[in-house]
Structure 1
Amino acid sequence: MTRRSLSLSRGGRRPLSLRARLMLVGVIGVALALLVGGTAFYGALTFAVDRTLDNEALASAQEVAALVDADQLPNPVPVSGAQVVQVVDAEHRVVGGSATADRLVPLLRAPELARAVAGEAVVIPGSRAALSTPLRVRAVAAGPSNAPVSVLVALPVGDVLASRAALRRGLLILFPLVLAAMAAVAWRVIGSTLRPVEELRVGAERISGTSRAERLAVPAASDEIQALAVTLNRMLDRLADSRARQRSFVADAAHELRSPLASIRTQLEVAERLKEGGSLPAELLIDVDRLARLVEDLLLLARVDADTRGPARQDRLEVADLLAEVAASQTGSRVPVTVRTQGEPQLVGDRDELRRACQNLVDNAVRHATSAVEVEAVLADDEVRLVVRDDGPGLSADERERVFERFTRLDDARGRSLGGTGLGLPIARELVTRAGGTLSFADAPPPWSLQAVVTLPRPTSS
């Protein structure tokens, strides 16, 4: 299990993309800023309006208190605008007031009056003054110490409260709209900002790493993304150089081994024919053959890696003839190999490479089969499928891809005893891929246990 799949299985959900995470962080930040800013604005506006009302009420109350102190309180008390004024004595009786005030019942009850005289603004229902809107009341003490009174000044605040409610509703509607608009803008801006990064990712995924001609496009802007593209291209150059040196070493080493192996084979065959060395020449010839096959496989892989183009030759092949040739090479093998074809399928490609791919698949099937191997060619709408089935032990789901890795042997001891090098299946996939096809393992219908499926495009009629 890869690290990515492990994290997904633990979390149970797919992680958000970088674009989504950046937008989420930005939207949350803007939402918090709007919330704090809106709350501060509403609070400051409320404080300023309340302070203006209180200052107006206190100024009027102090003017009336000055008239009380001078024993010049008129009846009724003159007021400005919609103010309501009452003068209440120590017995909680109304001793004076404006024309709009009740002369019998004080606006404030005793506890409320005590709080108002102490400097607190008290909001009361407007019904106490026969009004439909609430009143904000401020009070000051006045009169001599032996006959103290309280001057109450009330201002209607219905319009103020309605304005505050409208402001709250407006903020609750406006802020989400602003947030949604900013989220849409942020999504587009972040997307355009990350587009060069996505282009680099797509380009890096497309590059095979085998050719110096394929490199990432470097953005024109002199920024961090351009520096990243330049750095990645330099890294790709170093990787290409390393791969080229590796291929050259493998090809040179395999080529140099050909001559001594041929010489050793010749000497062993001569010794075996002259009955020299007993059974040793025959035993050594087996190892020499296996070593020679390994050298040929390494040379083939080096050529495949060095050439990223299609096959050099484009031959029109009769699939039945190709499979019959492969089956003929298995004459006398440990299990029989049968061939079945549907119709007269044809392919276009390098005959030697396709024959080698099929040969490797059949060799692998024969190596692990219990009693038989079957090769079948199936025609589809726009493709030809070559299926190699065997009745061996099969492969588990996770092993069916691992066997295409080079030098992979699921059972090392069995592989060596049967002559496997761990390169046959990787070579087969490389050659099939060069021909424009695919190769994979799948479950086979009974009595078979496993099948290798090669899918190749059908040639267009000319």
Structure 2
Amino acid sequence: MTLLSSVVMALLCGGICALVLIGVRDRAVADLTDRLLLSGMQVVRLIEHGQVPPVLPVRKSALIQVIGPGGQIVAASPSLAGRPRLTRLTPRDEDSSANRVICDAAGFPGTCLRVVAIRVPTGNGSWIVYGAGLSTPWYVSRSLLLGLLAASGLLVGATAIGAYRTVSRTLDPVEDICAELAEITSSDLGRRVPVPPYRDEIRRLAETVNQTLDRLEAAVERERRFASDASHDLRSPITAMRTQVEEALLHREDSDWPSVAAAVLASLGRLQAIVTDLLVLSRLEAGAGGPCARVDLGELAGSELARRVHRMPVVMHMEPGVMVDADRMQLVRLLANLVDNADRHAESTIVVTVRPEDGRSVLEVLDDGPGIPPEQREYVFQRFARLDAARSKDKGGTGLGLAICREIVERHGGTLTIRDSEKGARFVVSLPAAPAGAAGDRTADPETLG
């Protein structure tokens, strides 16, 4: 930025200096021409009165020559006395005067002169009066050129210093942000970068960095809690199996080995369920999925519920033609998890409803169990969430089923919420309805699925 501003100022100063030199030079040339014409007119008066002396009474520095009708030098200023004719410049017939820059004139080698020629008509022919002066150079004078260069240098220097200081002050917050970010580690995510006081792009950068750090800290904290909960839930069945086996080994003769094997097998089943759910969650977070196709939500729910065995009877209210574009296998997993959750906590009945609602496709699973308090309706979707004994994982769940459901629904651009009901828990899935028209397969990816 400093270099750019300096170059721009240098170009600007160069343009201004050029305009000044052109203007001043034009004025200087005009003044010189006027002086030469004035000096020549004084000699013209002498010619008209017939009083032309051989050496003209003008200043010694003046360059004046008078050429008679025969082409001979009749008179000259003291500095040109005895010198040859300056030039053959002659005004045109229709002009009384002419001026031109002549270089290497007779007697002035290596010098350029501005010469003004004045025609003086008389009865015995035309006389020519030459007035000459040193030609004005392009820079007019050394003092003017040095003054312009000095002023331009000062302006460019001031611009460079000002730009450097301004940009440095502007970028100081960036250095502070970089320094703070370099010191933040995974064990110290509570730190934040400083936010500049001015509302500019750098302030927005700092705010965005802090928001990113907030999300990163929340994600790391969530993963830490998840790792802690997962290790606890995985350790429980392993500990139970170890205890059962060790106790049986201590009393080999008295142990009921088929019962021990059944207990260990139950613990292994729970362990396998937890590992399977963890794998499903990781695959969902990685964006894995099968092909998405047009699915009749009511037909899918009806067929899946008909072939599954549940502890409690399931009442179905399915409206036809409720279509969604989704991964069929993920929808099956969503329905199975919600119904299994309801089956563990229902007291007598489970109600599954599929219907359109406000241009969306809705799947609702309602049980008549103890329900979920409003303040804990978001908490239950966290991994390994634990409520009271009435709805705890000890009744058969892994603590990951609802988290998997929420992840599947959000991948498909929908919502999963718990709404009020007279009794029990009412889980409501709302998915975008499939647009009318021919169904077409498409590959699922995290962006298109939400």
Tell me the TM-score normalized by structure 1. Answer: 0.45
Determine which structure has more spread, i.e. the larger CA radius of gyration: 2
**Structure number with higher strand proportion:** 2
Question: TM-score with structure 2 length normalisation?
Answer: 0.46
